[in-house]
């Protein structure tokens, strides 16, 4: 039985992946190397510090910690400029409808995001009132694929992992859900998200009743 739905934020509920990409690309280019959309796939769902390490590896750079902190801050400042202008038009197709449907059907709703900017995004897009619990990058000590963020979400909702469904667009997030002992829904392409229990192109293609049917078959 499904008692709770736990949603990733970036790339599942809102279209912020493009801003992360632009901000990282600007940083890479300022350091003198190119950064492609394909490179960017490796950063999805990964924490800010881990993302910077991957980016520097792509550019073949090794830098002292202090300089890395400055670069991570520089990227974040650019990203914050972009998300400051966000509004509800950047909620992904079907996301709001699905959140409403969950609530109508008595399913609890939590956020499980790696981002330290989650509250700004939820407030600017008007999504905050749809959540019973919010776990973001300011609450966690271990990043996805560690299951911590989703286990904390389930705990806050007082629901056992076996009654939880996780919605994720990142491979690391699907792995985190599996390690938490939760059913996972991949949002995106089946090639990258093949470890998920089911995959849909967006939340627009899913209803709570069809989710319940898939959940019942496992
Ligand atoms: C995740 C994004 O949700 O949050 C990653 O998919 C990002 O791309 C991570 O690096 C951390 O976000 P922030 O806003 O704390 O830098
Ligand atoms: Mg994501």
Residues 59-72 have pLDDT tens digits of 999 999 999 999 99
Confidence category of residue 75, pLDDT binned at 50, 70, 90? very high
pLDDT at 45 over 90: no
175 in the Ramachandran plot: left (φ > 0), alpha (ψ -120 to 50) or beta? alpha
Tokens of 41: 């796939």
Q: Which residues pair with residue 6 across a beta bridge? A: 110, 166
CA atoms within 13 A on the CB side of 153: 35
Is 8 among the residues known to form the active site? yes
End-to-end CA distance of the chain: give it in Å, rounded.
11
Cα 103 to Cα 143: distance, rounded to the nearest angstrom? 28
pLDDT band at residue 21 under the 50/70/90 scheme: very high
Q: What percent of the chain has pLDDT over 90?
A: 95
| pLDDT at residue 114 is higher than 90 | yes
> 168-215 pLDDT, tens per residue?
999 999 999 999 999 999 999 999 899 999 999 999 999 999 999 999
Q: Please give the distance, rounded to the nearest whole angstrom, from the Cα atom of residue 113 to the centre of ligand 1.
A: 8
Label residue 82 by pLDDT band (50, 70, 90).
very high
Provide the percentage of residues in the chain whose pLDDT is more than 70: 100
User: Could you give the angle at the alpha carbon of 212 between the alpha carbons of 208 and 213, nearest 5°?
Assistant: 120
Q: Please pick, among 10, 73, 132, 136, the residue that the annotation labels catalytic.
A: 10
pLDDT of residue 218 exceeding 90: no
Residues with CB under 6 A from ligand 1: 9-10, 20, 43-48, 51, 76, 113-117, 137, 170
Is 85 one of the annotated binding-site residues? no
Q: Report yes or no for ipTM above 0.90.
A: yes
Ligand whose nearest atom lies closest to the CA of 20: 1
Whether 136 sits among the annotated catalytic residues: the reply is no
Residue 67, marked binder: no
């Amino acid at each position: 039985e499904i008692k709770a739905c736990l949603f990733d934020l970036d790339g599942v509920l809102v279209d912020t992946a493009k801003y992360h990409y632009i901000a990282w690309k600007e940083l890479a280019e300022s350091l003198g190397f190119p950064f492609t959309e394909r490179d960017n796939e490796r950063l999805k769902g990964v924490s800010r510090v881990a993302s910077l390490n991957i980016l520097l590896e792509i550019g073949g750079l090794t830098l002292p910690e202090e300089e890395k902190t400055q670069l991570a801050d520089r990227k974040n400042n650019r990203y914050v400029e972009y998300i400051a202008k966000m509004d509800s038009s950047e909620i992904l197709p079907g996301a709001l409808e699905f959140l409403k449907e969950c609530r109508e059907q008595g399913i609890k709703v939590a956020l499980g995001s790696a981002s330290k900017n989650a509250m700004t995004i939820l407030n600017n897009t008007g999504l905050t009132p749809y959540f019973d619990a919010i776990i973001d990058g300011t609450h966690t000590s271990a990043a996805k694929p560690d299951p911590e963020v989703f286990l904390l979400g389930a705990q806050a909702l007082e629901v056992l992992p076996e009654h939880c469904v996780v919605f994720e667009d990142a491979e690391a997030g699907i792995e985190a859900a599996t390690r938490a002992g939760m059913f996972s829904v991949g949002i995106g392409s089946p090639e990258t998200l093949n470890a998920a229990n089911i995959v849909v192109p967006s939340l627009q293609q899913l209803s709570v009743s069809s989710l319940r049917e898939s959940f019942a078959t496992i």
